[in-house]
Amino acid sequence: MADRLAKRVLLIGWDAADWKVITPLLDAGKMPALEFFINHGVMGNLATLRPILSPMLWNSIATGKYPDKHGIWGFTEPDPHSGGVRLVTSTSRKVKAIWNILTQKGFKTHQVGWFASHPAEPIHGISVSDHFQVATGPVNEPWPMAAGTVHPESLAETFAKLRMHPGEVTADMLLPFIPRLNEIDLEKDKRPNIAAKNLAETAGIHNAATWILENQEWDFLAAYYIGIDHFSHGFANFHPPKLEGVPDEMFELYREVLEGAYRFHDLLLARLLELAGPETTFILMSDHGFHSDHLRPRAIPKEPAGPAIQHRPTGVFAMMGPGIRQDQRIYGARLLDITPTILTLFGLPVGEDMDGKVLLQVFEEPPAVEKISSWEEVPGPCGMHPEDMRVDAETSKAVLDQFIALGYVEAPDENKQKAVAVSLREQKYNLGRVYLYSRRAVQAIPLLKEIAEGNPEEKRYAVHLALSYSQCGRHKEARAVLESLTSAREDQRALADWLRGEFHFAEDNPEAALEALGRAEQLDPLLPDLHIRIGQTHFRKRRIAEAERAFLKALAADPDSPLAHMWMARVSLQQKRNREAAEEALTAVGLEHDLPIGHFCLGIALARLRHFQRAIQAFETALSLAPRFELAHRWLLRLHSLPGGDRKRARQHAAWLAEFGRDDRKAAKARTS
DSSP code of residue 210: H
Read off the pLDDT of each residue in 360-376 and give the average, rounded to a whole number: 96
Name which residue leads in pLDDT, 30 or 487. Answer: 30
pLDDT at 407: 63
- Lowest-pLDDT range of 35-44, 264-273, 408-417: 408-417
Cα–Cα distance, 411 to 394 (Å, whole number) = 15
Q: What is the DSSP string of 41-59?
A: EEEEEEE--SS--HHHHHH
Read off the pLDDT of each residue in 309-325 and give the average, rounded to a whole number: 95
Cα–Cα distance, 440 to 208 (Å, whole number) = 40
Q: Is the pLDDT of residue 226 over 90?
A: yes
pLDDT at 403: 63
How does pLDDT run across 430-445, given as a tens digit for each residue? 999 999 999 899 999 9
pLDDT at 503: 82
- Lowest-pLDDT range of 354-363, 536-545, 664-673: 664-673
- CATH annotation of 8-401: 3.40.720.10
pLDDT at 203: 97
- What is the pTM assigned to this prediction? 0.87
Q: Is the pLDDT of residue 400 over 70?
A: no
pLDDT at 44: 93
pLDDT at 166: 94
Q: What is the DSSP string of 139-185?
A: TTS--PPPTTSEESGGGHHHHHTT---GGG--HHHHTTT-TTGGGS-
Cα–Cα distance, 528 to 524 (Å, whole number) = 10
Read off the pLDDT of each residue in 76-95 and give the average, rounded to a whole number: 87
pLDDT at 459: 87
pLDDT at 388: 66
Name which residue leads in pLDDT, 619 or 516. Answer: 619
Cα–Cα distance, 237 to 291 (Å, whole number) = 9
**Angle formed by the axes of helices 562-574 and 578-591, nearest 10°:** 160
Q: Is the pLDDT of residue 398 over 70?
A: no
Q: Cβ distance 495 to 530 under 8 Å?
A: no
- Of the pLDDT bands very low, low, confident and very high (cuts 50, 70, 90), residue 2 is confident
pLDDT at 662: 81
pLDDT at 46: 93
SS3 72: coil
How does pLDDT run across 164-197, given as a tens digit for each residue? 999 999 999 999 999 999 999 999 999 999 999 9
Percent of the chain with pLDDT over 90: 70
Q: Is the pLDDT of residue 673 over 80?
A: no
Q: Is the pLDDT of residue 389 over 90?
A: no
pLDDT at 500: 85
Read off the pLDDT of each residue in 318-325 and give the average, rounded to a whole number: 98
Read off the pLDDT of each residue in 523-530 and give the average, rounded to a whole number: 80
pLDDT at 644: 86
SS3 673: coil
pLDDT at 119: 94
CA torsion sign, 15 to 21 to 27 to 32? negative
CB-based contacts of 462, cutoff 8 Å, min separation 6: 452, 456, 481, 484, 485, 488
Q: Is the pLDDT of residue 391 over 70?
A: no
pLDDT at 1: 67
Q: Report the chain's mean pLDDT, rounded to a whole number.
A: 91
pLDDT at 528: 79
pLDDT at 232: 97
